[in-house]
Homo-oligomer: A and B are copies of this chain.
Amino acid sequence: MHSYIPSSNPSHFNLTGQSIFDWAKSHYRDHTFNKDEPIPTRPGLLYFVEQGAIRIVGFTQTNETLPKQSSHSDLSLCEAVFLGFVGAGLPFEIVSQFPISLKAIAHVEATSVIWLYWQDLEHWPDLKQEVFNSFRYQHQRKLLWLSMLGQKRTIDRLLGFLTLLIEEYGQPSDKGYYLPYTLTHAQIASAIGTTRVTVTRLMGRLRQEGLVSLDDDHLIYLP
């Protein structure tokens, strides 16, 4: 039973020995990306992050048949929503369904990614099981994420969002757990349905109250 229970921390999901990465390289199915470079993806392929991390973002094309309520709304056409990270050793896939598109973007410098067909996984049955475990775990996390977004007050969503990210990706330090990836206030705002200005203001408040702290590299800590 144990092997089917997703861990509360996906660092346990560092799925892959070196062999899958060696195999992918010998089949020319690897590429290294610069920070913020989009990763070309195709439906039906499975990807693994070898090193670095990607972020997944979503874009929705606004329905043009609905009348605009203000000129401001033109800005919201195809705005990116931050949907989470995928770190080293973990799988991802990118599906889209009109009018929603998902994209994978290298979140840190020198992020390397490999890809394979799903049927290639038949060569690695244990890995295949772990891939499915990882998606099962991701599904659970997204249900928690959606619950967190249901909170009425923006400051509750902000603290809930940071807590979920740090539970999932956090690294320990002597100052508490921290998120090893930078996030802009605009990226945070996109995820919790508010504006960059509000995130900046509320991050100040959370820091004043000692619920969040930042280090010199702007990484976010939960004490």
Chain A: residues with CB nearer than 8 A to chain B?
1, 4-5, 8, 43-44, 56, 58-60, 62-63, 65-66, 69, 72-73, 76, 79-81, 83, 93, 95, 97, 99-100, 102, 117-119, 132-133, 135-136, 138-140, 142-153, 155-156, 159-160, 167, 190-191, 193, 209, 211
Contact = CB atoms under 8 A, between A and B. Distances in A.
Number of copies: 2
A15 B192 CA distance: 35
Given A5-B44, A97-B8, A139-B135, A76 B147 contact: no
A80 B66 CA distance: 29
A151 B190 CA distance: 9
A60 B156 contact: yes
Contacts of A73: 152-153
A148 B69 CA distance: 18
